[in-house]
Amino acid sequence: MSPAPQTHEPITGLILSGGGARAAYQVGVLAAIADLLPDPEHNPFPVIVGTSAGAINAVSLACGALHFGQAVQRLTQVWQGFSTDQVYRSDWPGVIRQASRFLGHSLLGLGSQVPVALLDSAPLAELIKERLDFSGISAAVRQRKLRAVAVSAFGYDTGQAVTFYQGRAAIEPWFRHRRVGIPTRLACEHLMASASIPLLFPPVKIQREYFGDGAVRQSAPISPALHLGASRVLVVGVSGNLQDETTGPNEFRPHNAKQPSLAQIGGHMLNSTFIDSLESDIELLERLNQMARLVPADQQVGHVIKPVEVLVIAPSQPLDVIAARHRRELPAALRLFLRGPGATHASGAGVLSYLLFEASYCSELIELGYKDAMAQKAKLCSFLNIQPATVAGEVSIPA
């Protein structure tokens, strides 16, 4: 990680991790922040970075950075009104056609141009084009309400984690081992690439390379925010692992003797992709902060390591348990399609928690995010250097 440039005022970065439908949780956290701000229209995050579904949330904020509260309100309305067919084809013809093409291509080698994906995410592209005005990013940068916004994707040919960013001209590209930052004018294809979970959603071609979900090879999720100038970061995760202290290192959780289903295995793989690298990166950054405090700046060799303040807000409840309660709301075609692998059973709800883009599930995650953020009200206000505002309910979550 590169040290942030020295400035008189701290530059706050917002990091929104990936996680499919789990990203609804982030919207609740953002709504709480907007309610806590003395001026809800002021954007408190000059640097915004997102991956996968978090990239869509991040760019949505950046597009409306001139009016932060309104941007959060629009984002909340979208997630509260979500249905699965707005993200990927969930009707019988769409599911059968895509599954047949996937099996024919993957097992029989039929159709070389067939996208390698189980689901058709074309509806999501249409939704992004309809709802997002990307010109708002340039306007916010010009008026210095936004320093930069970035989304990360994974290049299938190069194997690199590529961060596409749009921001001030003074921000230089970076090149690290398998991690690069490229200035660009963000568009729908960058969001679709970042959100293309391997095998589930088709890869997206940008220029001469196909890209997929940025969480696949993003070993240092916090790094792009630091490269873009952030000196402190607020991380909104989609896993409660960091808060889970109920099981000690020598204890075992209750388990059954059944073999894991395909969905249960897939859930752990998705968690490994979206969650583990972020948690490891936070742990590494905390160790670097401890080292920076112990070693005086004049005794550090090379670059001076400055501590980076980190605040993490993560779910206080397991999201797969919440998803299991809403599994019957999945469209009938998908329920049948996912029944065999076990995703419609409680043990396979990990996969479901990423794919269940239904209003009731998303609304419950938004409410949880709002409550978890408000539970850390004092920390949030201290971190953002704001006086706790009386919650006016401008973008608060309805009961």
* Active site positions, annotated: 52, 213
Q: What is the DSSP letter of 261?
A: P
Please state, in angstroms and rounded to a whole number, the distance separating the CA atoms of residues 161 and 293.
Answer: 30
Could you list the beta-strand ranges (E) of 289-389.
309-313
CA-wise closest residue to 52 among 119, 102, 124? 124
Angle at 275 between CA 273 and CA 278, to 5 degrees: 105
Sequence-ordered list of residues with C-beta below 8 angstroms from that of 395, at least 6 positions apart, any chain: 31, 34, 35, 40, 69, 72, 73, 76
Q: In b/e form, how buried is each residue of 30-58, taking b as 16+ CB within 10 angstroms?
A: bbbbbbbbeebbebbbbbbbbbbbbbbbb
Q: How far apart are the first and last CA of the chain?
A: 41
| CA atoms within 13 Å, Cβ hemisphere of 34 | 27
CA-wise closest residue to 201 among 189, 186, 213, 188? 213
CA-wise closest residue to 199 among 320, 336, 100, 106? 106
Helix (H) or strand (E) run with residue 289 in it: helix 277-294
